[in-house]
């Protein structure tokens, strides 16, 4: 069902109610394993746990969600959910080098002991969120700095880090390291501003094609973008980088970053389907549709970027499109993938989407207050 929000204020009230009354309680209850205490990886749209390997990113993102809920005033009880989840996460996933392994089973048995940069970005984001939400507790900055130091051997001469796996030179892990650096910059020391500046420079010098303002995903060792099948262009990431560069550019007084954010946003809009009011998953090099399905997270990034750049009509459209994903048998769950024919794929709600939803709702609330 499409919600016909008339104003951003109306949309914000609806999303805030959904978050407070449905999503936060559901994922703190059914979304936590009653035996091992780890967060569930997935719930069905009826709100029942769906067993799957527990990725580190899922655990860290849920800690972030509940820490942010407490900090935003949704209830002090959510800080305890975050703290408990954090302790259980570390007990199962922590490695001696300060990083966390990629995935574990429900009982904490390791599945993938490797430590991808992507997972560590969310480790650091969760640490920043807990530190911000609970300023009276000891800061987690020393642990975050240890994790960052452990990534040092992966640095590349042009800046940034090599990732594990089939795409060692990629934008995605840097996007989330950038987000974590900005989060830590608000509560930590100077190392985080330096990291944010480094990644912003990498993005503006290499990851984004300056002529077309297109953020690419995969690169060769010299940070030259891959093309063809390897030249993936994701509207959601155009929006997400636009949101981040707008934040960084505003903080640094960098007009070039603000201009690039606006241009990335225009590229992302090329992927918005006006009929379904959603942004699609991916585009080809000529910005025609490559994958016309539309995942939930892409819609949250459209909303965030539109709000950051003052595109109120676009933000209202994005809020309407996103709300369709939350029309589920169990309120507080969500659909993940809207197909090109306008129907949803029958699949569980991934826990990782809650982080995207939380940030988008907080951004919407803040924009309405402003």
- Identify the structural domains of the chain with CATH numbers, from first to last: 8-369 (1.50.10.10)
pLDDT-derived band at 281 (thresholds 50, 70, 90) equals: very high
Average pLDDT over residues 258-265: 98
Q: What is the pLDDT of residues 32-47, one digit of tens each?
A: 999 999 999 999 999 9
Query: At a CB cut-off of 8 Å and minimum separation 6, what does 279 contact?
Result: 235, 236, 239, 268, 271, 272, 273, 294, 298, 299, 301, 302, 318, 321
Classify 344 as helix, strand or coil: strand
pLDDT at position 238 over 90: yes
- Alpha-carbon dihedral 119, 125, 126, 129, rounded to 10 degrees: -170
Q: Where are the alpha helices (DSSP H) in 94-234?
A: 117-133, 141-150, 172-185, 190-202
Query: At a CB cut-off of 8 Å and minimum separation 6, what does 247 contact?
Result: 182, 308
Which tokens hold the place of 150?
């452990």
Whose CA is closest to 39, among 66, 77, 75, 71?
66
Q: What is the pLDDT of residues 142-151, one digit of tens each?
A: 999 999 999 9
Q: Which helix (H) or strand (E) holds 50?
A: strand 49-50
**pLDDT (0 to 100) of residue 350:** 98
Angle, CA of 308, 367 and 276, to the nearest 5° = 70
Prediction pTM value: 0.97
**pLDDT (0 to 100) of residue 231:** 83
Q: What is the pLDDT of residues 115-144, one digit of tens each?
A: 999 999 999 999 999 999 999 999 999 999
In the DSSP assignment, the letter for residue 35 is T
CA distance 160 to 180: 14
């Amino acid at each position: 069902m499409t919600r016909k929000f008339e104003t951003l204020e109306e949309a914000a009230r609806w999303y805030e109610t959904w978050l407070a009354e449905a999503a936060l309680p559901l994922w703190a209850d059914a979304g936590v394993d009653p035996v091992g205490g780890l967060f569930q990886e997935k719930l069905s749209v009826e709100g029942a746990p769906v067993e799957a390997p527990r990725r580190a990113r899922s655990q860290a993102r849920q800690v972030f969600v509940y820490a942010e809920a407490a900090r935003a005033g949704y209830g002090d009880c959510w800080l305890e959910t975050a703290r408990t989840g954090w302790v259980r996460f570390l007990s199962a996933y922590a490695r001696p080098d300060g990083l966390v392994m990629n995935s574990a089973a429900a009982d904490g048995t390791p599945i993938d002991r490797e430590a991808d940069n992507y997972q560590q970005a969310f480790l650091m984001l969760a640490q920043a969120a807990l530190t911000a939400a609970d300023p009276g507790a000891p800061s987690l900055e020393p642990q975050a700095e240890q994790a960052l130091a452990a990534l040092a051997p992966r640095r590349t001469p042009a800046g940034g880090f090599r990732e594990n796996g089939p795409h060692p030179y990629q934008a995605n892990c840097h996007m989330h390291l950038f987000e974590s650096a900005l989060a830590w910059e608000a509560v930590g020391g100077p190392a985080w501003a330096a990291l944010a500046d480094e990644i912003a420079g990498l993005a503006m010098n290499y990851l984004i094609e300056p002529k077309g303002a297109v953020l690419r995903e995969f690169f060769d060792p010299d940070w030259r973008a891959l093309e063809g099948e390897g030249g993936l262009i994701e509207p959601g990431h155009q929006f997400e980088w636009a949101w981040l560069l707008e934040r960084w550019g505003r903080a640094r007084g960098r007009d070039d970053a603000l201009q690039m954010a606006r241009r990335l946003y225009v590229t992302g809009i090329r992927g918005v389907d006006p009929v379904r009011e959603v942004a699609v998953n991916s585009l080809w090099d000529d910005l025609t549709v490559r994958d016309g399905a539309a995942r939930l997270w892409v819609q949250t990034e459209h909303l965030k970027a539109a709000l950051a750049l003052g595109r109120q009509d676009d933000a209202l459209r994005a809020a309407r499109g996103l709300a369709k994903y939350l029309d589920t048998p169990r309120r507080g769950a969500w659909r993940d993938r809207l197909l090109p024919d306008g129907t949803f794929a029958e699949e569980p709600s991934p826990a990782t989407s809650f982080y995207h939803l939380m940030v988008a709702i907080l951004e919407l609330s803040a924009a309405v207050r402003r």
